Amino acid sequence: MSDQDLIDLQDVAPAEVAELDLYQRREKIYTRKIEGYFQRVRLYTGWPLLFGYFLLPWLDWEGRQAVLFDLPERKFHILGLVFWPQDFPMLAFLLIIAAFGLFAVTTVAGRIWCGYTCPQTVWTSIFMWLEQKTEGSRNQRIKLDKAPWSVEKLVRKIAKHGSWLFVGFATGLTFVGYFYPIKTLVPDLANLQAPGWAVFWIFFFTIATYANAGWMREQVCKYMCPYARFQSVMFDQDTLIVSYDQKRGEPRGSRKRSANLEELNLGECIDCELCTQVCPTGIDIRKGLQYECIGCALCIDACNSVMDKMEYPRGLIRYTSEHELEGGKTHWLRPRIIGYVVVLCLMVGVFWYNILSRIPLELTVIRDRNQLYTTTDSGAIDNIYTLRLVNMHPEDHEFEISISGIDGAEIIGDTRYRLDGGEVRSISLRVRAEPQMLNKPSTELDFMAVSSDLPSLQASSESRFMKPL
C-alpha cells in the first residue's frame, strides 16, 4: 500500500467529533426565579425537613438531647429509644426499607424525591435564593459576571459567598451536634475549648456544603448521584414524569396572543425558552425525558404562567406518563406497585415488631481458654467463665444469674449483680459440677440473667462445660 492510498482521518472526521473534549469545563447555569403551584408544594415538603434538621438537636427528651449518637458511650438516643451497637442489624434493615420505599415511589412518581425533599435540592434552593437576594435577577447576574471588577461587584460577591459560608457553617455545626451535645458544643466552640475532631468535622461539612450547593449544584445530580443512573430501571410507561406534550406544542414559534394557530401552522409552544431558564440542571425538557431531570416541576410552573398569559390551556408541560401522552390512560394499580406495597407493609411490620419486642438486655458468655478445667480436692470439676452483661434499659436493675443443662451444677460465689441504666459489666464466674453428671468431654451449659424487679427483662447465652478426657 502506497502513501497515496492512506486516508487522513482528520480530513474525513466531522469537526465536532475530532475536537470532542471529554473533560469539558462546566458552564454556569443562571436560573430564573419562578413562582407557581408546585413551588408552593415544596414549602410543605423540603422546608419541614430542613427545619427539623436544624431544630431537632436542640430539643430535650427526658433530660437529654432528643437525638444524640453518643459514639464514646456507644449509645444512640432517638427520642425515647436507645440503640446499641448490637442493634446495628435493625439500622441496616431500616435503611433497606427506606431504599425499597424510594424504589416504590420512583415507580409511581419518578424522581419526585429528588425534586422536593433531597437535601442536595433543598440546600441548593437556599443557595440560589441567597444568590438572587445578593446579586439580583437572572439578567442582573449575567451582567454582573461579565462586568469588570468594581466596588459594587466586590460587595455583592462577598455578600453572596459570605451568606453561603454562614449556611454551610450552620449545617456543619448542626451535623456535629448530633454526635456531640450541641448545647455543650456551641459554648465550647465560642470559648475555643471544643475538641479537635469536632472542629475538623465542622470545617469539613462547612466546605462540603459550600462546594456542593454553591459551586457544584447540578454536577452532583448529573454525575455524582448514582440514583440518576439506575432510575430508568424502575420506570415504566405508567410512571409519572415531567414531560412536554409535542402534539400540542409543535411546531413551536413566536406569535401574538390573538394569532390564529391554524393559519400560522403553529403549536401552542411560543418558544420563549422560559422552561429552560428556570431548570436547575440546565436541560431543555422539550427534547424528551432526560436522566438529568430531577422532577422539580419548575418548568411546569414556568410554562403554565406563559399559557395563562397566552390564554391557552395549562399542561403543555406537566406530570404525565408515556401512556397518557400517547392518548391512553395511566394505570395506577399494576402488579409492580401492588408488589411494592405488599412487601413494604411486611418489612415495616417486621421492623416494628422487632422494635416493640426488643429486650434491652444482652448476655455474652466466654469460657476461659487458658485453663480448660480444674479439679477440686473432692473430685468436682470447675470451669471459669467471663460474662458480659449489658443493661440497655434506662433504669437500674438487679439481675440474678442462673445456669441450666447439667444436673447438680452450681455457681460458686455471688449470683446477684446490680447494674445502672446503660451499664456494661464483666463478671467472672466459677461453675462446679460432679464428674458423674458429665457424660461427654464437652457438655452444653446455658446461662440466664433475669431482672429481679422486671421478670420480662431477661437474656440467655450458651457455652460449653469441659471435663478431663
CA separation for the pair 38, 301 (Å, rounded): 7
**CATH code (residue 449):** 2.60.40.10
Residues of the chain with pLDDT under 50: 1-2, 6-18, 20, 22
The residues near 90 (Cβ < 8 Å, ≥ 6 apart) are: 83, 351, 354, 355, 358
| Domain presence at residue 406 | yes
Residue 338 belongs to some domain of the structure:
no
Q: Is residue 393 part of a domain?
A: yes
The pLDDT value given to residue 17? 45
Q: Let me know if residue 410 belongs to a domain.
A: yes
**Enclosing domain of residue 459:** 361-466
Per-residue model confidence (pLDDT) at position 24: 59
Q: What is the pLDDT of residue 320?
A: 92
Classify residue 425: in a domain, yes or no: yes
The answer to whether residue 311 is domain-embedded is: no
pLDDT number for residue 185: 94
CB neighbourhood size of 115 (10 A): 23
> How many structural domains comprise the chain?
1
Flag whether 379 is in a domain: yes
Quote the distance between the C-alpha of residue 338 and its chain's center: 25
Are 435 and 380 within 8 A, CB to CB?
yes
pLDDT of residue 400: 92
Does residue 387 form part of some domain? yes
Which residue shows C-alpha cell 502506497?
A: 2
Report pLDDT for 456.
86
pLDDT score of 315: 92
